[in-house]
A = this chain, B = another copy of it.
Amino acid sequence: MTEPVTIPVAHPAPRRPHVVIIGGGFAGLQAARALRNAPVQVTLLDRTNHHLFQPLLYQVATASLSPGDIIAPIRWVLRRQQNTFVMLGEVSGIDVVSRTISLAGSGRALTYDYLVLAPGGRHSYFAHPEWETLAPGLKSVEDAAELRRRFLLSFERAELCEDEAERTAYQTIVIVGGGPTGVELAGAIPDIAYKALRRDFRRIDTRRTRVILLEGGDRVLPAFPPDLSARAKRDLESLGVEVRLNSLVTEVHGDRVGVGEETIRTHTVFWAAGNVISPLTALLGAPLDRAGRVLVEPDLSIPGHPEVFVIGDAAHVVCGGRVVPGVAPAAMQQGRSAGRNIARSLAGNARVPFDYFNKGDVATIGRHKAVADFGRFRMTGRFAWWLWLTIHIMYLIGFRNRLTVLIEWAYAYFTYQRGVRLITGATRASDSG
């Protein structure tokens, strides 16, 4: 089978316009939902079978949550939306002239009338792709399982280590990047190392664990106002995290990280810096920014192709003179906007330009510590922390996920334990770091 086939025509006659959405993240899912009642046939294509609630992924990496707690099968989310066909598959090519998408592996193709591209991104290793295996990032469930494995194994290896310098290296965790992911990851580790794991080891003192957060810029959480960045840094330091600003990583090896002249001995490096966009954006022939994001029109379509939309992390959207940040609320709003504009075009109405409504931004740092920025007013400390919890529970998809996450959090809150200390994959303690 190599000839293009239009796959799903659940409502074959009269043929409805076919909208293909690539990506089942926050942006893609909202685009699909916005087309719920539109006279179209939607195909939502994703490489995985699940929508992932990325803002809590770092909690899977730190053994607080199970992957199953923060995913929802895309099919299940859209089960009642009869005009939508969910398809597991990977895109290998996009031809905007013939309006055709090729799928990897199968030799199959899909033709579309409208295309919504919402593929998300990966971390950027700044021209050092070889660092990725040494310092994994945090974008997928598999990434989180790998980080959890390395994080938990570092204690196992330290416990068996005969050499003191080596043991210290095993007890040193370096996080690269001071954005929300890096800060939340760094803030979660001390509580686990100093409290949850303390009684479990016999030879090492887990309270000696060093957590080092390296940020290339001059403050953490650069998307927040400077005073909240300063507060977040103080909060991290009060937990025991070493925050190093203006620290660019120049070398990454299996047993050390270089920061300019300095060398930090460590076997556990996590990458939370820079975003690089899915290679799919390059296939559109549209102008890209330096990070590979597509410079979209005000209605989120690409120049010259009003039938092709790019949304979410892959889009470079300017609203009110500022670039819209790559956060979940922005992605969701873009998804809704693209979906509604498709419906408007089909109804013969004019499109409405995308307008970003900044609902505010919250980042958590550790127990009772968080910073929140709502433009006019700001919040820190205990109240911001509870707010962070409430918002994240609210936005989780599915009652079951909300309940299981609540229970895991309550368990962690009251016992200081972490329930999901599961190492999967190769667990041989003697693996090289």
Contact = CB atoms under 8 A, between A and B. Distances in A.
Contact of A1 (B50, B156, B162): B162
A423 B48 CA distance: 7
Nearest to A415: B400
Nearest to A141: B424
Given A103-B430, A202-B85, A404-B404, A424 B142 contact: yes
Contacts of A104: 428, 430
A75 B160 contact: no
A63 to B, nearest CB: 8
Contacts of A141: 422, 424
A427 B152 contact: no
Contact of A66 (B49, B67, B153, B417): B67
A290 interface: no
B200 A71 contact: no
Contact of A407 (B8, B407, B425): B407
Interface in A108-156: 108, 141-142, 145, 152-153, 156
State the copy count for this chain: 2
Nearest to A142: B424
A425 B141 CA distance: 9
A403 interface: yes
Contacts of A417: 76, 400
B200 A79 contact: yes
Contact of A202 (B8, B47, B420): B8
Interface in A44-94: 47-50, 66-69, 71, 73, 75-76, 79-80, 85-90
Given A88-B427, A423-B49, A423-B50, A10 B203 contact: yes
Contacts of A376: none
Interface in A408-424: 408, 411, 415, 417, 419-424
A359 interface: no
Interface string A195-221: 001011111000000000000000000
B66 A421 contact: no
Interface in A375-413: 398, 400-401, 403-404, 407-408, 411
B430 A50 contact: no
26 contacts: A7-B160, A8-B203, A10-B202, A10-B203, A47-B427, A67-B422, A67-B424, A68-B419, A75-B201, A76-B200, A79-B200, A80-B199, A86-B202, A87-B159, A87-B160, A88-B160, A88-B427, A89-B429, A105-B431, A398-B419, A400-B411, A400-B415, A403-B407, A403-B411, A404-B404, A404-B419
Interface of A: 1, 5, 7-8, 10, 47-50, 66-69, 71, 73, 75-76, 79-80, 85-90, 103-106, 108, 141-142, 145, 152-153, 156, 159-160, 162, 197, 199-203, 398, 400-401, 403-404, 407-408, 411, 415, 417, 419-425, 427-431
Given A89-B430, A400-B411, A404-B404, 4 more contacts: A8-B202, A8-B203, A85-B202, A400-B419
